[in-house]
């Protein structure tokens, strides 16, 4: 009787036992999902780091403009009421120690 060979579609490993073949597929699928999740996490972290860099650069640019403005005109006044400034901006202002 000819031995049937089962080839795992994910890793390509060949199995003579159907059970071992099934176990291989399950293990390979679990590994693939784990790698996929790790890749997605790494991509999200990269995106967050890039957006933070953009914010930091914008903050630097803002500080530079503000410093030049104050140097030329002596003061820079803004209306700051809770209604006018969104919460997110409030945090940005805190960042600049206003
Ligand atoms: Zn496999």
Measured in angstroms, how far is the CA atom of residue 10 from the centroid of ligand 1?
A: 5
Measured in angstroms, how far is the CA atom of residue 36 from the centroid of ligand 1?
A: 16
CA angle 48, 49, 52 (to 5 degrees): 85
What are the pLDDT tens digits along the chain (98 aa)?
A: 678 999 999 999 999 999 999 999 999 999 999 999 999 999 999 999 999 999 999 999 999 999 999 999 999 887 766 666 565 566 666 666 54
Measured in angstroms, how far is the CA atom of residue 26 from the centroid of ligand 1?
A: 8
What pLDDT, in 10s, does the model give residues 42-69? 999 999 999 999 999 999 999 999 999 9
Measured in angstroms, how far is the CA atom of residue 4 from the centroid of ligand 1?
A: 17
Those residues whose C-beta lies under 8 Å from the C-beta of residue 96, and which sit 6 or more positions away, are 59, 62, 63
């Amino acid at each position: 009787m000819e031995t049937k060979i089962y080839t795992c579609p994910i890793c390509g490993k060949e199995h003579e036992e159907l059970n071992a073949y099934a176990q291989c597929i399950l293990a390979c699928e679990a590994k693939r999902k784990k790698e996929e999740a790790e890749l997605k996490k790494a991509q999200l972290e990269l995106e967050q780091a890039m957006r933070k860099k953009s914010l930091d650069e914008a903050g630097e640019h803002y500080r530079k403009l503000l410093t030049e403005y104050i140097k030329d005109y002596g003061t820079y006044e803004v209306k700051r009421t809770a209604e006018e400034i969104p919460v997110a901006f409030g945090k940005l202002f805190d960042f600049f120690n206003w």
